A and B are shown apart, each in its own frame.
Chain A
């Protein structure tokens, strides 16, 4: 680690707070541009998807348990399970699978 974690935290926090506070204080106007609005509409889904896969497979002790957790999580969320049920299910799948590996 050649970088300082506190400086990472400082930079990330400064950017986040600027994003949250500047539109409320200095800009004070609604965004009318359809392309920018659409971009901001799609961004969270794309970012979360990119960050979830394939990272979930590498997060666990075995890639098999991570992959099974991914499939179980997608199915549970597809059929309407709540945030915490999906999270709990993913953890359980990993825990149980790794008992047998």
Chain B
């Protein structure tokens, strides 16, 4: 390994430590839900290692809970993770033509909001994949071991504690959506409409599974917002 790559690996590891610690907590909260829908610690570890995405995994758990067709988990995972298409295309522009192709696969393996964020924040014309690998060294174990621990925790915690912990993930979702909803009127409106329609859909169409409800409402509401309020260039991307 060249000294430049070794330095990038260490930088990534350093910047990844706080991410990995945070991921352990998010993974743990996911594990609480995973156990509820019937995953074993090993299954929780594997899905978290391969997905590393809170919305995507939670979405998958809702499908597993309702024992819905495999097609539904494919569609819902696609919708819940669609935003990574943007991040992945941005990263594709930051690969030097000299960087071997296989690095694109490994960097793509762990595109997350946080790792994307520190990769872009590091600056420079080209990214060094070893920086991403350094961050992944803490992010992936933090997330997947956290999930396994969340599942195991069920055996030790009281019913009251599990009930309390089961809202942790929703709290995290609120912390992601509410601040931008306050800042940007259109996001705020979209979130309010989402709450309302989601509640109405569950009330009046209980036969539609949670997964299909999320797919249909996301396409409907995000699609309407995109057509009515297109985002100007350079307005997003993080």
Chain A interface (Cβ < 8 Å from any Cβ of B): 1-3, 5-9, 11-17, 19-25, 27-31, 34-56, 59-61, 65-66, 69-70, 73-74, 76-78, 80-95, 98-99
- Whether A1 contacts B231 by the Cβ 8 Å rule is no
- Whether A15 contacts B74 by the Cβ 8 Å rule is yes
Q: Using known A-B contacts A17-B109, A42-B187, A44-B83, determine if residue A51 contacts B58 with beta carbons closer than 8 Å.
A: yes
Q: Among B47, B64, B167, B213, which residue has its beta carbon within 8 angstroms of that of A50?
A: B213
Q: Using known A-B contacts A44-B83, A94-B163, determine if residue A24 contacts B50 with beta carbons closer than 8 Å.
A: no
Q: Which residues 22-44 of B sit at the A interface, judged by CB distance below 8 A?
A: 22, 25, 29, 38-39, 43
B208 sits at the interface (CB 8 A): no
- Whether A83 contacts B172 by the Cβ 8 Å rule is yes
Instruction: Report chain B residues within 8 Å CB of A46.
Output: 190-191, 194, 217-218, 221-222, 225
Q: Using known A-B contacts A47-B59, A95-B161, determine if residue A66 contacts B167 with beta carbons closer than 8 Å.
A: yes
What total count of A-B pairs have CB within 8 Å? 303
B56 sits at the interface (CB 8 A): yes
B73 sits at the interface (CB 8 A): yes
- Whether B176 contacts A83 by the Cβ 8 Å rule is yes
- Whether A5 contacts B55 by the Cβ 8 Å rule is no
- Excluding A12-B74, A13-B46, A24-B108, 6 further A-B contacts by CB distance (< 8 Å) are A20-B81, A38-B231, A45-B187, A49-B194, A90-B171, A93-B167
Instruction: Report chain B residues within 8 Å CB of A24.
Output: 88-89, 91-92, 95, 104-105, 107-108, 111
Q: How far is the CB of A5 from chain B (nearest CB, A)?
A: 6
Instruction: Report chain B residues within 8 Å CB of A8.
Output: 60, 63-64, 70, 73
B1 sits at the interface (CB 8 A): no
Q: Among B22, B167, B236, which residue has its beta carbon within 8 angstroms of that of A84?
A: B22
Instruction: Report chain A residues within 8 Å CB of B83.
Output: 40-41, 43-44
- Whether A56 contacts B167 by the Cβ 8 Å rule is yes
- Whether A50 contacts B226 by the Cβ 8 Å rule is no
B153 sits at the interface (CB 8 A): no
Instruction: Report chain B residues within 8 Å CB of A28.
Output: 89, 92
B124 sits at the interface (CB 8 A): no
- Whether B195 contacts A53 by the Cβ 8 Å rule is yes
| Sampled A-B contacts (27; CB under 8 Å) | A2-B67, A8-B64, A13-B51, A20-B88, A24-B107, A27-B89, A38-B225, A44-B55, A44-B176, A47-B55, A50-B195, A50-B213, A50-B217, A59-B166, A60-B166, A61-B159, A70-B174, A77-B174, A77-B175, A78-B178, A83-B22, A85-B175, A86-B171, A86-B172, A90-B171, A94-B164, A94-B167
Q: How far is the CB of A87 from chain B (nearest CB, A)?
A: 4
Instruction: Report chain A residues within 8 Å CB of B90.
Output: 30
- Whether A39 contacts B222 by the Cβ 8 Å rule is yes
Q: Among B57, B108, B171, which residue has its beta carbon within 8 angstroms of that of A20?
A: B108
Q: Using known A-B contacts A21-B109, A70-B170, A74-B178, determine if residue A11 contacts B51 with beta carbons closer than 8 Å.
A: no
